[in-house]
Structure 1
Amino acid sequence: MRSFTWRGKRFGGVPRDHWQRVNEALDPESDFVEIYRNAVVHEFPWDMNQALSFALFRTYAVPGIGALLARTGAFTEQVQRRYDDTALLLEQPSLKGFDHPDARAAIRRVNQMHRAYDIPDHEFRYVLSTFVVVPKRWLDDYGKRPLTATELRASVNYYRTLGRHMAIPDVPETYEGFARLMDDYEAEHFGPDEGGRAVAASTLALMLTFQPSFAARGVEVFSRALMDPPLREALGYDAPPGAVERASRAALRARGRLLRLFPARLSAQTVADLPWVRSYPDGFDIERLGTFPAPGVAGCPVRHAPGPAAPAPGG
């Protein structure tokens, strides 16, 4: 099978199920970073980006989270940069492994940002659950194939490890535990909040700029069509006509079936490759990404090693 290049990315040269075969030969208990990376940057790059974007929207529907984001102004006043920073920071461990200096620096920055605010552990656990559950359900519904049991277990282990580096207690041990946590939490906590709705509106407005201007209205309707009723209600979005919702979901399912015919993607697609990540055209410094706490506020919730030694993972 010959390989070819399209839009700067290399495809083919291996069987269509290449990455599934690669992942099934790995151990999700020890190789979970590699398995997760293969899924995100090779097998499902577009799907994972969309799913994680919708996971982000779900967090806005929790009044405690949405209101805090609105008060900081991070996702209303500087939404492009905050969107880019979030994606770039969260990607580092998956690209390089949790022990890599860049991954450690990225997690340290995430911890420093969060430590500046009084965020309860249950909100951290909920956000973590969306990163596990929403992509799995998206691929079940719209992907060219669902995650295998190996890939799903790797995703669970990946986010359990991220949770440990962020000092989040009582993180679920299984996918079923993550799914139950997310569903129960949303049933109890989803609700309207002016701040959450403002953050959602600002983020959606940004995402519409990722498309040609003539398509913006259609993309906005399409986005609402993919939201479930509790999410739309909490964020104050009207449901599109039923026919539009059915057509939108059918189009995504058709895309997934079509992709089964495509050869495997051999080159990686990272966040920095995405055309809508625009804040750092000349490159970025991990230590300068994100927001910074006020003077005197403690940074990382994970204890640092004493003296000049490297900080503890995530700290």
Structure 2
Amino acid sequence: MVHFLTPGSYAAGMRRDHWRRRNAALDPARDHVEIYRNVVMYEFPWDMNQALSFALFRTYAVPGIGRLLDETGEFTGRTQKRYDDTALLLEAPSRLGFDHPEARAATRRINGMHRAYDIPDHEFRYVLSTFVVVPKRWLDAYGKRPLDAGELEASVHYYRALGARMGIPDIPETYEGFATLMDDYEAEHFAFEPGARRVADSTLALLLTFHPRLPKRLVEVFSRALMDDELLDALGYDHPPRAVTASSRAALRLRGRIARLLPANRTPTAVADLPWVRSYPDGYDIERLGTFPSGCPVPHDSRTESGAA
């Protein structure tokens, strides 16, 4: 699951704390999109990608979510495309702002997919909570630094704005509220579900292809070593030996310490720039991403694909 290649270019002329200082000068309530963009695309692109991947696995461990994803067949039959589409659709608002036409189209696509199924609000709230809580905890454990208070508040505002556009009611107002929601929900709902295990296996098999030069068994065990016991149990995965878990996590902490010494990233890392996002080498049309359970309304013979940003 974890790939140590970090896209982007470093800038010798920029202070190491450039993005931290930039975010500190912004207002988390007013400028939450810009702050979150700086966090995801400049300051922590590698870490955020890893954290959100683990957030995805946590959602599988909720039987209702994992079972539905298995029944659609998308995460087991077209795993690469579904992974890429999810990342591209979720990225658009942070990269462009919620009111940009492409970001609005991405939100419509997300809502259109969800409306095809009877998904309860509590599952939507849980998934939203993982996007806020898991990255914060990842950076606490493995990042070159934790999120500042303003960056964390901006993340809360950002996902509250996304949730509002998805029509999710009763969204927590603070990070503490999101964390309590996620922890309590997992304590109540995490359980083994055969369909969820199939989805997790398919996703993990895809992520192992991101390292063609490394032994797949090594990468697979390393990935499981970063999962907590509750997640492993819910997915039915064996617990790696304690020494493997300790050494794997120590390696990530070492990476974080090394990252502190690197200069600031000058160029943003977009999802389309990631080498493991491979479905659209010639660009993509945001309105054609995702699934269309009732058929795609876009006239494919007359639309031209827009280039990926």
Query: Per the shorter chain, which TM-score range?
Result: over 0.9
CA distance in 1 between partners of 2:36 and 2:254 (Å): 25
Structure 1 segments, 4+ long, off by >4 Å, are: none
Q: Which runs of 5+ in 1 are unaligned?
A: 1-5, 298-315
* Structure 1 pair 200–15 and aligned structure 2 pair: CA distance change class (3 A): same
- The within-5 A match list for 1:20-39 is 20-39=20-39
Q: Contact 1:163–1:171 at 8 Å: present in 2 too?
A: yes
Contact kept, 8 Å, 1:32 with 1:155, in 2: the verdict is yes
Q: Is the 8 A contact 1:12 1:265 kept in 2?
A: no
Partner Cα distance (1:53, 1:78) in 2: 17
2:12 paired residue number? 12
Deviation string for 1:98-129 (max 9, x for gaps)?
00000000000000000000000000000000
Name whichever of 287-296 and 262-271 sits farther off. 287-296
Q: CA-atom RMSD, angstroms?
A: 1.4
User: 1:103-118, aligned counterparts within 5 Å?
Assistant: 103-118=103-118
Distance 1:267 1:133 in 2: 26
Instruction: Measure the CA separation in 1 of the matches of 2:20 and 2:182.
Output: 27
AA aligned opposite 1:180: T
The answer for the alignment partner of 2:129 in structure 1 is: 129
How far does residue 251 in structure 1 lie from its aligned partner after superposition? 0.6
Q: CA deviation at 1:12?
A: 2.5
Structure 2 distance, partners of 1:11, 1:117, is 46
Asked if the contact 2:7–2:269 (Cα under 8 Å) also holds between the matched residues in 1, the reply is no
Q: Deviations over 1:239-284 (max 9, x none)?
A: 1110000000111001101111100001001100001100000000
Q: TM-score, normalised by structure 1?
A: 0.91
Show the counterpart of 1:62: 62
Partner of 2:240, secondary structure, is: coil
Q: Please tell me whether the aligned partners of residues 9 and 267 of structure 2 are also in contact (alpha carbons under 8 angstroms).
A: yes
Question: How far apart are the structure 1 equivalents of 2:8 and 2:26?
Answer: 28
**Match of 2:258, as an amino acid?**
L
The alpha-carbon deviation at position 215 of structure 1 amounts to 2.9
- What is the SS of the residue equivalent to 2:11? strand
Deviation sequence 1:125-162 (CA, Å, 0-9, x none): 00000000000000000000000000000000000000
Alignment deviations for residues 17-70 of structure 1 (CA, whole Å, 9 cap, x no partner): 000000000000000000000000000000000000000000000000000000
Number of the residue aligned with 1:286: 286
In the aligned structure 2, how far is the partner of 1:219 from the partner of 1:103?
A: 34
> 3-state DSSP class of the match of 2:74?
coil
Paired letter, 2:146: P
> Displacement of 1:293 after TM fit?
2.8
Deviation at 1:294, TM superposition (A): 1.6
TM-score, normalised on structure 2? 0.92
SS in structure 2 at match of 1:205: helix
What letter matches 1:163 in structure 2?
G
The AA in structure 2 aligned to 1:142 is Y
Code of the residue aligned with 2:72 in structure 1: it is T
Question: 1: distance between equivalents of 2:213 and 2:110?
Answer: 33
User: Judging changes above 3 Å, is the alpha-carbon distance between structure 1 residues 16 and 128 closer, same or farther for their aligned structure 2 residues?
Assistant: same
**What is the one-letter code of the residue matched to 2:191?**
G
Show the counterpart of 2:300.
none
Partner of 1:206: 206
Unpaired runs of 5+ in structure 2? 1-5, 298-309
Query: Displacement, 1:295?
Result: 5.9
Q: Report the Cα distance in structure 1 between the residues aligned to 2:8 and 2:47, rounded to whole angstroms.
A: 19
